Structure 1
Amino acid sequence: MSVFAVRSAPVFVGASILFAALAGGGCIGARIVYPVLATPEERLAFEAAGPADLQTDVLQVDSMRVGGPYRVVAGDLLSFELPPEVGVETSAAEQDTGATSVTIKCRVKETGTVLLPMVGEQHVLGKTTGEIEELLARALHAPERLLNLPNVVVTLAEYRTVSVAVTGAVNKPGLHELRSDHLSVMGALMAAGGIKSERGAKEIRVIGKDETGQTTSRSVSVHLGEIPLGDVALRGGETVVVEPPSDRAFSVIGLVKRSGVFPYPAPRRYNLMQALATAGGVDESAAPRYATIYRVKADGGVLGATFKIDGATLGDGSNVLIKDGDVIAVDHTQGSWLRMFISQVFGFRASVNLSPSTSPTL
Structure 2
Amino acid sequence: MSIALSTSCDIRPDRRRATAARLLAVVLLAGCGTPGVRPSALPPELLARPRQSRAKLNLAGVAAPGSADAQIAAGDLLEVTISSGREGEEHDPVVARVGEAGAVDIPLVGPVAVAGMEATAAEQAISQASIQRGIYVRPHVAVELRSKAVNHVTVLGAVDAPGVHELSRTNCNLVAAIAAAGGLNDEAGTIVEIVRQSSLGARVAASAAAGDSVQLASYQPQPAAARTQRIDLTNSAAAPGCQLGDRDVVVVKPRDKEMVYVAGLVQKPGQFEMPEETELRLLDAIAMAGGLDSPVADEVLVVRNIPGRPNPVPIRCSIAAAKRSGSENLILSPGDAVSVEQTPATVVVDTFRNLFRMTLGVANNASLF
Considering fraction of residues, name the structure with more helix. 2
Give the TM interval when normalised to the shorter protein.
Answer: 0.3 to 0.5
TM-score if structure 1 supplies the norm length? Answer: 0.47
